[in-house]
Structures are given as C-alpha cells and as structure tokens.
C-alpha cells in the first residue's frame, strides 16, 4: 500500500508507486494525501485531502486487504502526519518504508515547516526504514549537505539517533562516477553503488526506489535484500528512461523497462 500524493503527470507520487508495484509483481492499493496539478515542467497547484478522509482511506484498506508492506511519501501537513501515524498504530502496520518527501525536483516545498518535527517524532519510530536524499537529510538534521560518503554515513547515524530504525542515505544528488546509497542500521553501514547515469528523464526516482523497497519487503525479502534489488531495478529504469518521450520537461523513469517497449 502507498500513502502519498497524486502526480497528475503520472511520473511520481502515487502513480509512480503503482507502476513500480505492478512492475515488481505485487498488488498495490492507495491512500491519497494530496492532489497536484503537475506536468513535466512544474507543479501548478496542490489540493490537500482532509486528514479525516485520509483516515477513512486507511481504515477501509486495512480492514479488508492483507497489507504486507506500506510505503509513505508526500504528507504535506502536520495534521496529515498525525492522522497517518494514528492509522498505522491502529492497524498495527508492519514493514513500513518512509520516504520523507520535502521538496519536489522543481523546487516546490511539499512538506510544510510544522510537519518536519511531527514526521520525526511520530513516524520515524514506526518505520522500518527512512529513505532521505541528501537535501532532505540535511534539512531533517538542520545541517549542511553531505558531500562525501563519510559525511553521508555520519548524518545517517544521526538520523537513527532521532528514532529511525534504519536509514537509506540516497546519494543521487552527489557527484562522481558512481551513485552511492548507504544503508545505515543496527548492524552497521552497507554500501550500494551503481554507475551514475546521465539521463534527461529522472522524475520520480525517489518514489520509485522507496516503492521498490516496499515491494521487496512485501515479497518476504530482508531489508538488505529489498534495498539491493530496489537499487538494481531503479538503475534499469534510469538506463531506459530516455526511451520515453513524455512532455517537454523532465520526464519519468521507465518503470517497465524490462518489457522491451515504451
């Protein structure tokens, strides 16, 4: 199940999550937290779904479907963070992947100031893994952007001390020939690297990776296995991304790259 915002352009958010679930062979259900008027160039508007209706969506799904994993994306407001946390506790949800979506690639702020502390206090303890990119990690800690793997590891460990059980520090915003993600958990630090890909279409990479991790957990993989397979899946989606001709801006990654068609 994914709890996130809807991307009307189909490249990120709920739409990217559903595509990822389908591509990896798991059934996806959705709790929509916000609607966006969005294309490949910009977010033209955001409409917040009332938190009471978000709670009704959560209750409707958990009361009927055997939810094996939950991915959390865009929440937007403190009230939504509280409603989602209450819903997850109410249904004793397991295998939770939290992608702390704070900024869109266009620069639009997707998590309001008052919601950041609530995210850490209420959802970090419930999540099996938190998956921030480098700007999100710096914002959560109130620190400068990590510029090397040592700083990435240090900030990941600091986020764990704030209550996260495990942290995947995503290095996509860094430089160098490799795209390096660091998984920080109670066992230590593991390095997950793939060649850095220069693609025009990169919209929805964070949503896709976190959804792929959730899909792996739903299929019974360990956290380390789920991260490893999700990283490889995203790498393939990026390699094939520029085969897609969607819009005039930054298009989506190719979720069904393995199928050999666009």
Nearest in space to 47 (alpha carbons), one of 97, 5, 3, 1: 5
Cβ contact 132:169 at 8 Å: yes
The predicted model scores a pTM of 0.95
Q: Can 2 be counted among the known catalytic residues?
A: no
* Residue of 9, 13, 204, 216 marked catalytic: 204
For residue range 125-153, list pLDDT tens digits in order.
999 999 999 999 998 999 999 999 999 99
Greatest CA separation found in the chain?
A: 47
Q: Can 206 be counted among the known catalytic residues?
A: yes
Nearest in space to 126 (alpha carbons), one of 84, 64, 179: 84
Q: What is the CATH number of domain 2-259?
A: 3.40.1190.20
* Residue of 10, 33, 131, 207 marked catalytic: 207
Q: Can 82 be counted among the known catalytic residues?
A: no
For residue range 202-247, list pLDDT tens digits in order.
999 999 999 999 999 999 999 999 999 999 999 999 999 999 999 9
* Residue of 20, 70, 205, 250 marked catalytic: 205
DSSP for 60-75 reads HHHTTS----EEE---
Q: Can 204 be counted among the known catalytic residues?
A: yes
Every domain of the chain and the residues it spans:
2-259
How crowded is the C-beta side of 41, counted as CA atoms within 13 Å?
3
Share of the chain above pLDDT 70, in %: 96
- 134 sits in which H/E element: helix 134-141
* Residue of 19, 78, 170, 231 marked catalytic: 170
DSSP for 11-44 reads SSHHHHHHHHHHHTT----EEEEEEEEE-SS-EE
Looking at residue 112, its pLDDT comes to 76
Q: Can 205 be counted among the known catalytic residues?
A: yes
């Amino acid at each position: 199940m994914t709890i996130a915002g809807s991307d009307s352009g189909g490249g990120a958010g709920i739409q990217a999550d559903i595509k990822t679930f389908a591509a990896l062979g798991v059934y996806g259900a959705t709790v929509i937290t916000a609607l966006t008027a969005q294309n490949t160039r910009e977010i033209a508007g955001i409409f917040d779904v009332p938190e009471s209706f978000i709670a009704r969506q959560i209750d409707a799904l958990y009361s009927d479907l055997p939810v094996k994993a939950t991915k959390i994306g865009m929440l937007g407001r403190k009230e939504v963070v509280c409603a989602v946390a209450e819903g997850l506790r109410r249904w004793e949800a397991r295998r939770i992947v939290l992608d702390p979506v704070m900024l869109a690639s266009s620069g639009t702020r997707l998590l309001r100031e008052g919601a950041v502390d609530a995210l850490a206090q209420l959802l970090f303890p419930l999540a099996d893994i938190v998956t921030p990119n480098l700007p999100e990690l710096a914002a959560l800690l109130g620190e400068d952007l990590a510029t090397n793997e040592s700083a990435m590891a240090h900030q990941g460990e600091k986020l764990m001390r704030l209550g996260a059980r495990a942290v995947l520090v995503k290095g996509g915003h860094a430089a160098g020939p490799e795209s390096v993600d660091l998984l920080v958990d109670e066992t230590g630090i593991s390095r997950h690297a793939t060649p850095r890909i220069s693609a025009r279409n990169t919209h929805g990479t964070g949503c896709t990776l976190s959804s792929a991790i959730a899909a792996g957990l739903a299929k019974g993989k360990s956290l380390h296995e789920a991260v490893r397979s999700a990283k490889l899946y995203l790498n393939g989606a990026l390699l094939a991304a520029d085969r897609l001709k969607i819009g005039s801006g930054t298009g989506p990654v190719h979720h069904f790259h393995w199928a050999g068609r666009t």
